[in-house]
Amino acid sequence: PIMTFEAMEVDYGVIEKDSEPLRVLNFTNTGTEPLVIKNARGSCGCTVPVWPKEPIMPGQTNKIEVRYATNRIGKFSKKITFTTNEAGDPKVVKVLGKVLKPEESQGVPAGDNSLIKPGGE
């Protein structure tokens, strides 16, 4: 079995906080034997993969659902490591992007009260 990914990274691009966390990663078994994904593990709890548990037959294409916790502000670069019945090292796919703060209606960042003085001074 040979697990061949459509892309070796899942790029979220620039997204807003709490936006849709789901992305789909397509792959094909380009080998001659059934492919079994034994484990798929994100480099932290904020990156969660869901993979098919049944064997992927030669030539068959399937998908892995990737969810990143989009409630975290800032740039991110994570990895998902896939352990299969393929010979050699596990496959690693990068998950990256940037989560922005939502636009503030008053123009003052949330949680920043440094411009407001007690007593109106």
Distance of alpha carbon 102 from alpha carbon 28, whole angstroms: 37
Looking at the structure, give the CATH architecture of the domain made up of residues 3-100.
Sandwich (2.60)
Q: Do strands 91-100 and 47-50 pair parallel, antiparallel, or not at all (unpaired)?
A: unpaired
Distance of alpha carbon 97 from alpha carbon 20, whole angstroms: 13
Provide the residue ranges of all domains of the chain, joining segments of one domain with +: 3-100
Q: What is the pLDDT along the chain (121 residues), one digit of tens a residue?
A: 999 999 999 999 999 999 999 999 999 999 999 999 999 999 999 999 999 999 999 999 999 999 999 999 999 999 999 999 999 999 999 999 999 988 744 455 555 555 555 555 4
| pTM of the model as a whole | 0.80
CB 29 within 8 A of CB 72: no
- Measured CA distances, 72 to 19, 38, 42, 102, 109 (Å): 11, 29, 16, 12, 16
